[in-house]
Amino acid sequence: MKIFVVNCGSSSIKYQLINMENETVLAKGMVERIGMEGSLLKHTPTGKYTVDLPEDIPDHAVGIKMIISALVNPEYGVIKDMSDIDAVGHRVVHGGERFADSVLITQDVLKGIEACAEIAPLHNPPNLHGINACMEIMPTTPQVAVFDTAFHQTLPKVAYLYGLPYELYVKYGLRRYGFHGTSHKYVAQVAASMMQEHMTDLRIITCHLGNGASITAIKYGKSIDTSMGYTPLEGLIMGTRSGEIDPAIIPFLMEKENMTAPQIDDYLNRRSGILGISGLSSDFRDLESAANRGDERSQLAIDLFAYKVKKYIGGYVAAMGGVDAIVFTAGVGENSPFMRDKICNGLEYLGTRIDPERNKVRGKAQEISVKRANVKIFVIPTNEELVIARDTFNICKRIIKL
Ligand code: AMP
């Protein structure tokens, strides 16, 4: 069975075509700058060169059509015909309280995703564009939605409610939802298998540290707390997002800086975080080299990030009554031995320590704690596309004749 995995952002579409017989990627790529000048499709058939296909791509529907044409192209395509795609798996950011698992998309499910757009106005509408485009182009191919929030639907009320009047939760669904769920679930599963244990027997803290960053406490297989909240703005300090701040700062800024609500939103989402602290960059690679040259604010941004991650780890150890494994994933987590070392420095009280030699690993699944550590520390590259493909496969194998 061949699964087309689609991840639509506001101006981009990332995709992979995965053969589920051996879980191999046949082709992958990205449509960039939708609706802007310079839009193009970058398409890479596995094991071959990348082709750049510049074209006017006014919307997601045109982008999806271009991807399908590339997939069936006689020169750089990987399938003969569109009908070789057995099912489509869509990443959907927000599933609200309705979707605690991946689902086959029906008209009713579409309405549910539309309803969640009210709480995720930036993310769910482009996801819906992608779904609608695929349903139009491939009307008889089953489509599945895989939600970023679903894995966190097991959070208990004490972890997901804010200290606001309860009526606001009932009226508007104002609560913690959490994000990066497919990533947290995947790396926890891999960690459990590397420990030759079942996730249901372990307490795992997963640190998804990329441009967006979140941490999750997974107790005996279930997410019981996570750092992102009602939106992906809460929690850790991130590339350009502030993470948690005192909410009283918002009316203060509105008054003192004469800012409107959209301006504040832009400030907190795109101009804060390590970019705001360093005044230099949202990329940890830039900060690490600037700090090495003696740039104090870059050093401060690095210190602040590592401190926050460590604080969350401590908090989640308390929430779970202990921990068996800590996992690092995403851009920083997979590639920065320096940051991993800084975060774990001081966790010896838990009965763990990083092995400097093992910690040199980049982008590969490996245990990085010292031998016989009570708490194992792992680097595990995330693979959200594979989770989407697996969920789609599991849902569709019942309805597709193989
Ligand atoms: P992601 O959002 O998971 O794609 O992660 C992107 C972020 O990972 C970038 O903004 C960088 O800050 C970070 N990153 C990638 N490679 C490295 C590296 N070798 N060292 C430090 N940070 C890295």
309 touches 343 (CB < 8 A): yes
Which whole number is the average pLDDT over 311-331? 98
For the chain, the residue count is 402
Residues 234 and 358 in one domain: yes
Residues 133 and 206 in one domain: no
Residues 129 and 215 in one domain: no
pLDDT given for residue 387 in this prediction: 96
Taking the CB of residue 64, how many other CB atoms lie within 10 A of it? Answer: 27
Please compute, for residue 96, the number of CA atoms within 13 A of its CA located in the half-sphere on the CB side.
Answer: 19
Give the Å distances, CA to CA, from 40 to 4, 58, 131, 397: 19, 11, 20, 34
28 touches 44 (CB < 8 A): yes
Cα 76 from chain centroid? 29
Q: Is residue 160 part of a domain?
A: no
Q: Helix-strand-coil percent breakdown of the chain, rounded to 5? A: 40, 20, 40
**Cα 332 to averaged position of ligand 1 atoms, centre (Å):** 4
Mean pLDDT, the chain, integer: 96
Query: Which active-site residues does the annotation give?
Result: 148
Residues 139 and 10 in one domain: yes
pLDDT given for residue 402 in this prediction: 52
pLDDT band, very low/low/confident/very high, at 307 (cuts 50, 70, 90): very high
Please compute, for residue 94, the number of CA atoms within 13 A of its CA located in the half-sphere on the CB side.
Answer: 26
Nearest residue (CA) to ligand 1, atom 8: 331
- What is the rounded CA–CA span in Å between residue 156 and residue 49? 48
pLDDT digits (tens, 9 = 90+) for 210-247: 999 999 999 999 999 999 999 999 999 999 999 999 99
Percent of the chain, pLDDT > 90? 96
H-run or E-run covering 91: strand 87-92
Residues 200 and 346 in one domain: yes
Q: Is residue 156 part of a domain?
A: no
Q: Is residue 184 part of a domain?
A: no
H-run or E-run covering 90: strand 87-92
- pLDDT of residue 122 exceeding 90, the answer is no
pLDDT digits (tens, 9 = 90+) for 322-375: 999 999 999 999 999 999 999 999 999 999 999 999 999 998 999 999 999 999
Bridge-based pairing of strands 366-367 and 13-19 is unpaired
Which whole number is the average pLDDT over 29-46? 96
Residues 24 and 123 in one domain: yes
pLDDT band, very low/low/confident/very high, at 401 (cuts 50, 70, 90): low
- What is the rounded CA–CA span in Å between residue 72 and residue 45? 11
**Cα 280 to averaged position of ligand 1 atoms, centre (Å):** 15
pLDDT digits (tens, 9 = 90+) for 181-199: 999 999 999 999 999 999 9
Which whole number is the average pLDDT over 89-93? 97
Residues 108 and 201 in one domain: no
Candidates 206, 280, 201; CA nearest to 236 is 206
**Cα 61 to averaged position of ligand 1 atoms, centre (Å):** 30
**Cα 139 to averaged position of ligand 1 atoms, centre (Å):** 38
Place of tokens 């705001």: 276
81 touches 108 (CB < 8 A): no
Nearest residue (CA) to ligand 1, atom 10: 283
Residues 24 and 112 in one domain: yes
Mutate to test the pocket of ligand 1, among 277, 283, 341, 342 (most ligand atoms within 8 A of CB): 283
Q: Is residue 179 part of a domain?
A: no
**Cα 15 to averaged position of ligand 1 atoms, centre (Å):** 20
Q: Is residue 114 part of a domain?
A: yes
**Minimum-distance ligand 1 atom for the alpha carbon of 208:** 3
Residues 9 and 76 in one domain: yes
**Cα 211 to averaged position of ligand 1 atoms, centre (Å):** 7
Mutate to test the pocket of ligand 1, among 285, 287, 339, 360 (most ligand atoms within 8 A of CB): 285
- What is the rounded CA–CA span in Å between residue 216 and residue 228? 9
Q: Is residue 187 part of a domain?
A: no
Residue 345: both structure tokens together: 């420095």
- What is the rounded CA–CA span in Å between residue 24 and residue 386? 9
**Minimum-distance ligand 1 atom for the alpha carbon of 330:** 3
- What is the rounded CA–CA span in Å between residue 43 and residue 45? 7
Q: What residues flank ligand 1, with Cβ below 6 Å?
A: 210-211, 239, 283-285, 330-332, 335-336
- DSSP at 1: -
Chosen domain end from 108, 124, 147: 147
Give the residue numbers spanning the domain of 268.
196-384
Residues 142 and 253 in one domain: no
**Minimum-distance ligand 1 atom for the alpha carbon of 339:** 21
Residues 269 and 348 in one domain: yes
Residues 210 and 115 in one domain: no
- pLDDT of residue 117 exceeding 90, the answer is no
Percent of the chain, pLDDT > 70? 99
pLDDT given for residue 120 in this prediction: 82
Q: What is the CATH number of the domain that holds 328?
A: 3.30.420.40
Which whole number is the average pLDDT over 10-39? 95
pLDDT given for residue 381 in this prediction: 97
Total domains in the chain come to 2
Q: Is residue 389 part of a domain?
A: no
pLDDT digits (tens, 9 = 90+) for 125-184: 999 999 999 999 999 999 999 999 999 999 999 999 999 999 999 999 999 999 999 999
Mutate to test the pocket of ligand 1, among 209, 278, 309, 335 (most ligand atoms within 8 A of CB): 335
Q: Is residue 397 part of a domain?
A: no
Candidates 320, 339, 322; CA nearest to 379 is 339
